[in-house]
Amino acid sequence: MTQLPAKTERKLGLVIDLDTCVGCHACVVSCKGWNTENYGAPLADTDAYGGNPVGTFLNRVHSYEVTTPEAPPRLVHFPKSCLHCEDAPCVTVCPTGASYKRVEDGIVLVNESACIGCGLCAWACPYGARELDAVEKVMKKCTLCVDRIYNENLPEEDRTPACVRTCPAGARHFGDFADPDSNVSRLTAERGGVDLMPEQGTKPTNKYLPPRPRDALREEVDVLAPFLAPVAETPTGFLGWLDRTLSKLPGGPN
Amino acid sequence: MHPAKSIIAFTTLSGLGFGLLFWLGSGLADFTGWVGFTFHVIGLGLASAGLLASTLHLGHPERALRAFTQWRTSWLSREGLAAVGALTAMGLHTLTVLNGTPITALGFLGAALSFATVFTTSMIYAQLKTVPRWHTWATPALFMALSLGGGALLAAQTQIAAPLLAAAAALQLLWWMKGDQAFRQSATTLATATRLGPGQVRAFEPPHTGTNYLMQEMVYRVGRRHARRLRILALALGYGLPLALLMLPMGHMAALVAVLSHLLGILASRWLFFAEAEHVVGLYYGRPQ
Amino acid sequence: MNQPKINTSPKVSDEVKKTTCYMCACRCGINVHLKDGRVAYIEGNRDHPINKGVLCAKGSAGIMQVNAPSRLRAPLKRVGPRGSGEFEEISWEEALSLATSWLKPLRETAPEKLAFFTGRDQSQSFTGWWAQNFGTPNFAAHGGFCSVNMAAAGIYTMGGAFWEFGSPDWDHAKLFLLFGVAEDHDSNPIKMGMGKLKARGARVVSVNPVRTGYNAVADDWFAITPGSDGLLVLSLIHLLLKAGKIDLDFLAHFTNAPVLLDSDPKSPTHGLFLRDPEGRPQVIDRRTGKLAPWDGEGVEPDLSATHRAAGITHRPVFHALAERYLSEDYAPEAVAQRTGIAASQIRALAGEIARCAFDEAVTINREWTDFRGVTRQTMIGRPVAMHAMRGVSAHSNGFQTARAIHLLQSLIGAVETPGSMRFKPPYPKPATAHPKPHCKVTPGQPLNGPHLGYPQSPADLCLTPEGTPARIDKAYTWENPLSAHGLMHMVISNAHAGDPYKIDTLFLYMANMSWNSSMNTSGVMQMLSDTDENGDYVIPRIIYSDAYSSEMVAYADLVLPDTTYLERHDCISLLDRPISEPGGAADAIRYPVIQPDRDVRGFQSVLLDLGARLGLPAMVKADGSPKFADYADYIVNHERKPGIGPLHGFRMGENGVQHGRGAPNAAQIDEYIKKGGFHVSHIPDGAAYFKPWNRAYQDWAVHIGLYDKPDPYLIQLWVEPLRHFQLAAEGVGAHQPPEHLRARIKTTLDPLPVWYPPFLDEAVDPEEFPIHALTQRPMAMYHSWGTQNAWLRQIHGHNPLFVPTALWEEHGFKDGDWARVTSPHGEIVVPAVNMAALNSHTVWTWNAIGKRKGAWALAEDAPEATKGFLLNHLIHELLPPKGDGLRWSNSDPVTGQAAWFDLRVKIARADAPPESQPNHPAQKSPVGQGPANLAWQVRK
Ligand SMILES: Nc1nc2c(c(=O)[nH]1)N[C@H]1C(S)=C(S)[C@@H](COP(=O)(O)OP(=O)(O)OC[C@H]3O[C@@H](n4cnc5c(=O)[nH]c(N)nc54)[C@H](O)[C@@H]3O)O[C@H]1N2
Ligand SMILES: Nc1nc2c(c(=O)[nH]1)N[C@H]1C(S)=C(S)[C@@H](COP(=O)(O)OP(=O)(O)OC[C@H]3O[C@@H](n4cnc5c(=O)[nH]c(N)nc54)[C@H](O)[C@@H]3O)O[C@H]1N2
Ligand code: SF4
Ligand code: SF4
Ligand code: SF4
Ligand code: SF4
Ligand code: SF4
Ligand SMILES: [Mo]
């Protein structure tokens, strides 16, 4: 089981748009809400109302600051969940076969009833996408909402991950990367979607769209200068311009 | 990485135990009768104590049997199989020794499996690209040298133990030197982790103000001074003192001191093995690169 | 490969109930999934006009709110000293009899001795109606400390405001300017809108000292120095005027730019409009060159022509405007220093505004007819949308700064036009269409009218015949004449000081006034528990309604425990703060989707019960029995005017069910429930834009009951009511301000937008306190409530002070260091964090994360209490003494808006104390403490 499939029929995953993510954590909590109730054991919170609350989350939003000498500093909100890697090291290290990559769609899952909670898969994942649940003692990770995306009890339009459905800014997109015409493939191509830590050789399925260039409005650009050419230099001159301009407008005496 | 007591105990004790079993099985440490039996039991005891400790570390030890199934890909699974194989072979071998009819082939098999067990253990760590400090050929080399050296020490094989421990000490130093550079030399940086830039990328706010499993498990921090002191302690106790004692004519007491000193030193070194290891996920949480 | 078989189609729930979220005031539609009658999952309602299916972090965490251990369990009577948190649980009968015994004598003798103030409860039309029936003038909600500057500036200027009543045209805007917004009340719509702009590649420009959240995704960041937006905007206006990049057609037809002003400085009506005998402001009609009323049929107002009558020259407003803003005082070079924005950057932005407005105009081919009867074939829009909130409004110059933004919008024709800002019904609605404030008290009788409104002149102030403030919060006095939402932040300190008079009972609802919603928090805690020489509390009685064990609960004598939002009826009404979008009028309900498992009651129902016990006329039948069984009964059967009730959908007409006007319909709530909990009346296409001037819209609004008759109006670039106050300050008229306020009124109540430095800048030495200190709303937390939520508190469990890199290095801060932050009023010691993307004179923190120990059923070592902190300790409700014997309020001089963000501080590195400072002793929890671990699952 922990052998990776040579090829999956589909490659389902997410595109995350770092240009648009406002860092609201909606996806984080919606993920928690759906996944504590559905597939697998609940996602526990220890010391929930105490001095050191620690809970299991399958999706977390970081933020990073990017500074360059030339431009104003930027801040980027950065959501991260399992990337459903093609060469998933978390799967091959698993001694029990609890971790596996699904042949039909490439989703990486943990079969919780087989998991011994050894934690090795979490060590093997470079992205911090797996968390061992402190109460349930099994490995938890993003399921790509496998219990939503095919769920016949949900209306067709809701067969999408909870985090995608809830993202207010529309910064998360779900689809099949094996299909070059899918929304996610097209977005990745158009916006130059990238892999995280490509050097780790995990071949992540999820792609990140980099933030667009920022802060162009710092110098009065040549194309904008004509828009500010003064019509007059003094208030009196301005009223003169006004009279001249008004007289050219329709609506006055014929 | 979080220096979990059970894992430190496991790798240290079972390393030593399987090392001892290796020498016993290979026949190079040739004890017979009750003496042989006792040595065997010590070896088996250490090895299984370690295994037990590691099993207790599991979230669901009751499902531990499943861990034997994935030997095709998983070093942890292989380790399990090798360990059980080694313990079985050496267990039987023990009986034959007690019986006065040691079966050499069984001993060889046990020795090979013991060797393999330690190797597989080391590969669990060495395979992890995510922990650059571990991801090196030197990790299995060090584990093997330590296991064999410690085993020989335990088996009172002075001539074998001395060069092996010296080699282990050299490997240990090399491993630390390499290790201290490893994270910086690995290709993984916050820039590759986030693909943000050009420019300097800095972690600003973590996703949660508190801690989480990942930070507790993977982003352990150890003070530099503390680490240096522990390294010296590990060198002195784990290698220095035992080697010095080996140079002297060994009495039983001296042998016991050498073994205990070695054990303590290796425990310290093993603690550092985990505590100093930086996981790349730390980058996401703003750990310095 | 043999993969495990998993059930990819599990049953999601037994039942889905659709109601309205209450984890914040945005009021999104939610689908509540129930299993065995328990809440199992909450998601956004796709059909809902506000959120269209999405849900924010707080909304998704609702399940943890409903199940929070901090929930109150039964009515509480205080047994320990105020602030201790020692209570006994009592029955509702006892609680209500007690409250009745306190309030009844007040009503019969001195109703003003009851001060009833509410938080962000979303039922102000109801609570206000109750207070009016009680007869006290002392009622308001949180608007005075929240964003009344935004509301008042918008309504006096444009007849609608950004705050809750306006929205960018997300589908057409090409340039979006966002001033001082971290989150907004329109939480989800703004995020969705930003997403739309991003998807279309429109440009987002953020003006904000801090670059997080929306401001982080903005294409351009203007790292403004706090309090100076007005200057930046007036400079943009200067550049656009000078370049003639203004929409003359829009200005002439839809604003009062052409209205004639008395321009004779010696005239007693100087600066007032020239009016005809019917009182209609006059313009010159370009067709005839003669005077004409502004709204005359077919009139073509002239922006330039002047008029002389009776020896007085009358100039159009536009002349005064051009004269003022063409001044070089507003040249980019002149404002760069104070705003922290380079002149080149200001020019670039002005150029981009001009380009978008005029080169990229949006034209919709839709015929429409304006109020003068002129039919136009197209709707031409300027796709430059703007939005602003508390970064602008929470300053003492916020009213005028907001006005400056509205002037900028108007100059380029970017109000209610395609691509710009659009109003949400019941807006547009000019100030003149709102009531005026009422304050006449008659013991045993209702107040003479609604409390809050929009004064038009000094005659409308709430003063007693002796000229003293009629209201406990001193709203509508010369100190802040247009305080349209009251001044909740002054109630406790005024009541404590007995100034303007003493009160007996402070009745608060849903406002954490002993903590995060007060300035000077420690001082307020003291005032609430102070005793007089007899040992009696200075504020004799405090009644409070909360649903949770908040900091304020500890200071109440009687606590009326509310249900949570999933257990009660609520009404999000067009009479109040509805959920409309620019394309439709919408209202909504909540209804009990689960039953409370404890002895709590919906506060609105309790208020009706109390009203009936007090015999308030509107709440009892002729025989004295209660008129309404509960709030649901009120929602259905109360009529504000015949045919107009709290909900506008599914009313009864002659031919059956109809929307808008109509008689009560017993099945109304059931209809709402069936339709997803809300009702939208869509605005017809031809009425969708130019609403204030569009006959089709005006007629539609009358039809559904928003107006009684069409009420078109002009955008008030020149706000005449302000000029009335200024004239009074100049000595004209019967109503005269006190001497010490004359000068201030003259400068700050300017009928044209002005900028003046925030008051604290003048009151303290800027050299000593060189740094601005701000708060921002965290998107995943709602004020203090989020903390009790096991999921949300992990995201924001404590809050550092973010220090700009320049200051960080200057002071030699290192990671993990703490900072001592000192204001003219107080000091805090708190954890510090370095931040580059921040104005270099500004520090900030997340708002309302710090908690008092023992509150919210948290452990005493909760990080919220040990590392978290409030900036509020540094802010005072009064400015530092000026030596004139007076204490000036830390508020906007026009509206009384609390000036939270005027705060100035100095910082220094500090040794880490064991806990953040100041540190208050723990309050006892009346509900115990939460369980250690959660593994939340309802699954059968
Ligand atoms: N430093 C600083 N201070 C500020 C601000 C700032 O920006 N900076 N912002 C100010 C602004 S704009 C505002 S609006 C205020 C907000 O301040 P508050 O209105 O005091 O905010 P909350 O913390 O939401 O407190 C509301 C109370 O309502 C209770 N509550 C929640 N749900 C229910 C319910 O269903 N029924 C009842 N009866 N009670 C309920 C909560 O438990 C809580 O005690 O803070 C102000 N304070
Ligand atoms: N998640 C969440 N949503 C909420 C709330 C909440 O507590 N949590 N509270 C609700 C309430 S009651 C309110 S009033 C609204 C308020 O919503 P916002 O108006 O977004 O309120 P703040 O978070 O106070 O944001 C003020 C912003 O103004 C900036 N700022 C401060 N001073 C200046 C200045 O001088 N100029 C400029 N340009 N910017 C400045 C600050 O950096 C900050 O980004 O949010 C509502 N929505
Ligand atoms: S992101 Fe981590 S957990 Fe997910 S597939 Fe890749 S390696 Fe495995
Ligand atoms: S924790 Fe579970 S899933 Fe992960 S490697 Fe161990 S057994 Fe496999
Ligand atoms: S796909 Fe589902 S499980 Fe994965 S992060 Fe999104 S909500 Fe969580
Ligand atoms: S919900 Fe969307 S916008 Fe919010 S943090 Fe997640 S990805 Fe970003
Ligand atoms: S913005 Fe969030 S908390 Fe506010 S009403 Fe909407 S979903 Fe609820
Ligand atoms: Mo507010």
Taking the Cβ of residue C682 and every Cβ of chain A, the question of whether any pair is shorter than 8 Å is answered with: no
Which pLDDT belongs to residue C163? 87
Query: Residue B288 pLDDT more than 80?
Result: no
Q: Which chains touch A (3 or more CB pairs under 8 A)?
A: B, C
Contacts of C797 in chain B (CB under 8 A): 208-210
Residues 276-335 of C with CB under 8 A from A: 286-289, 300, 302-304, 318-319, 322-323, 326-327
- Look at strands C558-561 and C541-546 and give their pairing: parallel
Candidates A16, A20, A25, partner chain C, best to mutate (most C CBs within 10 A): A25
Distance (Å, rounded) from C-alpha A183 to C-alpha C301? 52
Taking the Cβ of residue C211 and every Cβ of chain B, the question of whether any pair is shorter than 8 Å is answered with: no
Distance C517 CA to ligand 8 centre (A): 9
pLDDT tens per residue, range C286-297: 999 999 999 999
The end-to-end CA distance of chain A, in Å, is 88
Query: Nearest Cα to C145, choosing from C901, C935, C939?
Result: C901
User: Mean of the pLDDT values across residues C195-200?
Assistant: 96
Q: For residue A220, what pLDDT band results from cuts at 50, 70 and 90?
A: low
pLDDT tens per residue, range A37-63: 999 999 999 999 999 999 999 999 999
Distance C551 CA to ligand 2 centre (A): 22
And the tokens for C636?
A: 């259905």
Output b/e per residue, B244-255; b: 16+ Cβ within 10 A.
Answer: ebbeeebeeeeb
User: Mean of the pLDDT values across residues C78-94?
Assistant: 98
Nearest ligand 3 atom, CA A124: 7
Distance (Å, rounded) from C-alpha C505 to C-alpha C542? 6
Task: Please give the distance of CA C50 from its chain centroid, rounded to a whole number.
Answer: 18
Which pLDDT belongs to residue C940? 64
Where exactly are the structural domains of chain A?
A: 12-209
Query: Nearest Cα to B40, choosing from B1, B102, B91, B104?
Result: B91
Distance (Å, rounded) from C-alpha C531 to C-alpha C539? 8
Q: Do A199 and B192 touch (CB under 8 A)?
A: yes
Candidates C1, C792, C795, partner chain B, best to mutate (most B CBs within 10 A): C795
CB C563 within 8 A of CB C601: yes
What's the alpha-carbon Rg for chain C, to the nearest Å? 27
Which pLDDT belongs to residue B101? 86
- Give the closest-approach CA distance of B55 to chain A in angstroms: 9
| DSSP type of residue C845 | E
Q: Provide residues with CB under 6 Å of ligand 5.
A: A 31, 34-35, 58-59, 81, 142-145, 161-163
Kindly write down the DSSP assignment for every residue of chain B, as one continuous string. ----HHHHHHHHHHHHHHHHHHHHHHTSS---HHHHHHHHHHHHHHHHHHHHHHHHTSS-GGGGGGGGS-TTT-HHHHHHHHHHHHHHHHHHHHHHHHHT---HHHHHHHHHHHHHHHHHHHHHHHT-TTSTTT-STHHHHHHHHHHHHHHHHHTT-HHHHHHHHHHHHHHHHHHHHHHHHHHHHSS--HHHHH---SSEEEE-S-SSSS--HHHHHH-----HHHHHHHHHHIIIIIIIHHHHHHHSPP-HHHHHHHHHHHHHHHHHHHHHHHHTPPPTHHHHTT---
Distance (Å, rounded) from C-alpha C179 to C-alpha C208? 6
Query: Residue B110 pLDDT more than 70?
Result: yes
Phi and psi based region of residue C628 (left: phi greater than 0; alpha: psi -120 to 50; beta: remaining): beta
Distance C186 CA to ligand 7 centre (A): 9
And the tokens for A95?
A: 């001694």
Contacts of A123 in chain B (CB under 8 A): 1, 128, 130-131, 217-218, 279
Among candidates C41, C51, C223 on the partner chain, residue whose Cβ is nearest the Cβ of A34? C41
pTM: 0.97
Task: Please give the distance of CA C372 from its chain centroid, rounded to a whole number.
Answer: 34
Q: Do B213 and A75 touch (CB under 8 A)?
A: no
Q: For residue B32, what pLDDT band results from cuts at 50, 70 and 90?
A: confident
Q: For residue A254, what pLDDT band results from cuts at 50, 70 and 90?
A: low
User: Mean of the pLDDT values across residues C492-512?
Assistant: 97
Q: Could you tell me where the DSSP H helices lie in C172-328? A: 187-200, 213-217, 229-242, 248-254, 317-325
Which pLDDT belongs to residue C574? 95
CB C813 within 8 A of CB C834: yes
CB C926 within 8 A of CB C549: yes
Which pLDDT belongs to residue C86? 98
Q: Give nearest CA residue, ligand 6 atom 3.
A: A21
Taking the Cβ of residue C797 and every Cβ of chain A, the question of whether any pair is shorter than 8 Å is answered with: yes
pLDDT tens per residue, range A3-31: 899 999 999 999 999 999 999 999 999 99
Residue in chain C nearest B200 by alpha carbon: C836
- Give the closest-approach CA distance of B177 to chain A in angstroms: 23
Task: Please give the distance of CA C412 from its chain centroid, rounded to a whole number.
Answer: 26
Nearest ligand 3 atom, CA A90: 8
Query: Residue C1 pLDDT more than 70?
Result: no
User: Mean of the pLDDT values across residues C443-471?
Assistant: 97
| Identity of the amino acid at C194 | M
Query: Residue B102 pLDDT more than 90?
Result: no
Mean pLDDT taken over chain A: 95
Among candidates C9, C348, C936 on the partner chain, residue whose Cβ is nearest the Cβ of A151? C9
Taking the Cβ of residue C239 and every Cβ of chain A, the question of whether any pair is shorter than 8 Å is answered with: yes
On the CB side of A41, how many CA atoms lie within 13 Å of its CA?
Answer: 21
Walk me through the domains of chain B, giving residue ranges and CATH numbers: 5-283 (1.20.1630.10)
pLDDT tens per residue, range C543-558: 999 999 999 999 999 9
Q: Do A217 and C930 touch (CB under 8 A)?
A: no
User: Mean of the pLDDT values across residues C495-505?
Assistant: 97
pLDDT tens per residue, range B122-159: 999 999 999 999 999 999 999 999 999 999 999 989 88
Higher-confidence position of C662 and B246: C662
Which pLDDT belongs to residue B289? 58
What's the alpha-carbon Rg for chain A, to the nearest Å? 26
CB C215 within 8 A of CB C391: no
Q: For residue C2, what pLDDT band results from cuts at 50, 70 and 90?
A: confident
Q: Do A3 and B61 touch (CB under 8 A)?
A: no
CB C327 within 8 A of CB C338: no
Ranges assigned E (strand) in C728-809: 771-776, 801-804
Return phi, psi of residue C379, to 5°: -110, 115
A12-209: which CATH topology?
A: Alpha-Beta Plaits (3.30.70)
Which pLDDT belongs to residue A219? 78
| Identity of the amino acid at A61 | V
Which pLDDT belongs to residue A223? 81
pLDDT tens per residue, range A146-166: 999 999 999 999 999 999 999
Question: Which of helix, strand or coil describes residue A217?
Answer: coil
Number of B–C residue contacts, CB under 8 Å: 16
